[in-house]
Amino acid sequence: MEYFKLQIGCLAVIFFIVFSYYREVGVNRKKISYSLFEAILINAIVWIIFDGITSYTVNNLETVNHSLNLILHLCFMISIDTMVFLMFLYILSITEGFPPKIWHWILICSPYALNLFALFFTIDSLEFIQGKTTNYSMGFSAYTCYFVVALYFVLTFLTFFRRWKYIERKKRMSIFIYMTVSLGITVAQMIYPEILITAIAPTIFVLGIYLNHENPSVKKLTEYNHDTVIDFATLVENRDNNTGGHIKRTTEYVKLILQELLDRGHFRELLTKDYINNLQMAAPMHDIGKIAIPDTILQKPGKLTDEEYSIMKEHSQKGADIILQTFGKRNDKDFLQTAYEVAYYHHEKWNGKGYPKGLKETEIPLTARIMAIADVFDAISQKRCYRDAMPLDKCFEIIKNGRENDFDPLLVDIFVEIRPKVEKVYESIYS
């Protein structure tokens, strides 16, 4: 039992996380699919179990079959390398995302695959050394295992620091801490092989991931907040004889544009994870100010008079005021600023002839420039009380004709080039 105490404690932590996770997620999911986090959970359990077993066998060499001991150590080393490989993939997934090209995957997986091959053919070179307090294993296979561990830890930290801004600000420090602690424990084990504390490393990493990213309760709260915003915006939109489709589609169009900007490397310094999340959350509220516009104007079937149009234009200012009053007490200045910009400036035009401020070109916040294209495209592609919906070809033509007049030319080019994706959204959320 003296060899298992640490591992039992670590397993207790892991199983508590497993229980909490599946209690919220539910084991009876409609679609059978497994996440990267679940793979990490399984591997962490395997790592800790084999760590405990090998801690016993290495100190009872006289009673344990030598071949069995080698097999157990092989499984233990494979689980260690698999864990650091999965750790790298996880950090990659929450920052850069997975690489799109096959040769990228070959580069990423090659060290791990080659090491597995090497472990199988060099495990018989493993030596069991008697230390002052405990026995431990060493040899070529152990060195190759250490090499892969070191390599993927380096890649993980490089990815983290290189893509720092694509991680939510409130999560950056905690991610750095659990990664650093896991690394410190692993390095200490390499330098002082007798201490046998490797089980702590996967436990800290799993705990860090769960608390920062995978806790279903936190995810549900975030989804609830988003759904509340959507419901509030839909309630306002219903006054305009709409059913919420405009909000859903424009938000999806905004997401498409943001993703394309990110993939193409535009506005790298601006498009942080927080910026993207804030804009996606704020997009449904771009027309929130219409709640203050009289129904006689909002639902008028014919053309508005100049006076009525002046009143209608006030929805941008009123929307900004509502957002300040509603979200002003929320301790998130960045989101407040984004929501304010989207509501206030989404009718500004690239040539300076928009409203309410007559801003031009890059004086208009990028958030509002993106929102403007999504809003106009959906408005003209849907039926309104004063006109029928326009054909999609005509809608894209209007957007193209608005290049350098109404809209940011870069955003127009991108929107037109991703037409298949736009049409897919249009067809899936048509109402």
| CATH of residue 283 | 1.10.3210.10
The one-letter code for the residue type at 413 is: D
Higher pLDDT, 387 or 97: 97
Short-list 346, 51, 301, 94, CA closest to 198:
51
**Is residue 101 located within the same domain as residue 193?**
yes
> Is a pLDDT exceeding 70 seen at residue 2?
no
pLDDT of 332 > 90? The answer is: no
Which tops the pLDDT comparison, 166 or 161?
Answer: 161
Residue 65 is predicted with a pLDDT of: 92
**Residue 284 DSSP label:** G
Mean pLDDT of the chain: 88
Residue 32: predicted pLDDT: 42
- Residues 133, 115 within the same domain: yes
Predicted confidence (pLDDT) at residue 421 exceeds the cutoff of 60: yes
Is a pLDDT exceeding 80 seen at residue 94?
Answer: yes
pLDDT band of 164, cuts 50, 70, 90: confident
Same domain, yes or no: 182 and 246? no
Domain end call among 155, 181, 214: 214
Mean pLDDT along residues 289-314? 86
Same domain, 237 and 99: no
399 lies in the same domain as 273: yes
- Flag whether pLDDT at 229 surpasses 80: no
> In this predicted structure, what is the pLDDT of residue 241?
56
The last residue of a domain, from among 150, 179, 214 = 214
C-beta of residue 285 within 8 angstroms of C-beta of residue 234: no
Element (H, E) at 136: strand 135-138
For residues 230 and 351, membership in a common domain is answered with yes
Same domain, 231 and 378: yes
386 or 374: whose pLDDT is higher? Answer: 374
In degrees, rounded to 5, the angle at the alpha carbon of residue 336 between the alpha carbons of residues 333 and 341 is 125
CA distance linking residue 322 with residue 318, whole number of Å = 6
The answer to whether residues 44 and 205 touch, using CB atoms and an 8 Å cutoff, is: yes
268 and 363 belong to one structural domain: yes
Count of domains in the chain?
A: 2
**Which tokens sit at 155?**
């890649």
Residue 86 tokens read as: 């999965």
Domain interval for residue 110: 5-214
**The domain that contains 12 carries what CATH number?**
1.20.1070
Answer yes or no: do 283 and 398 share one domain.
Answer: yes
- Long-range Cβ pairs for the range 92-101 (8 Å, 24+): 92/159, 93/36, 94/167, 94/213, 95/159, 95/160, 95/163, 95/166, 95/167, 96/159, 96/163, 96/166
Cα distance between residue 208 and residue 87, in whole Å: 11
State whether 390 and 302 are in the same domain: yes
Q: Are residues 138 and 155 in the same domain?
A: yes
> Does residue 161 have a pLDDT over 50?
yes
Instruction: Please state which of the ranges 186-200, 237-251, 401-415 shows the lowest mean pLDDT.
Output: 237-251
Beta-carbon contacts of 211 under 8 Å, excluding residues fewer than 6 positions away, are 174
Asked if residue 252 has pLDDT above 90, the reply is yes
DSSP assigned state of 382: S
Averaged pLDDT for residues 202-223: 85
Pair 85, 192 in one domain: yes
* Domain stop point among 153, 182, 214: 214
State pTM to two decimals: 0.78
The whole-number pLDDT of residue 394 equals 93
| Cα–Cα nearest to 198, from 70, 54, 15 | 54
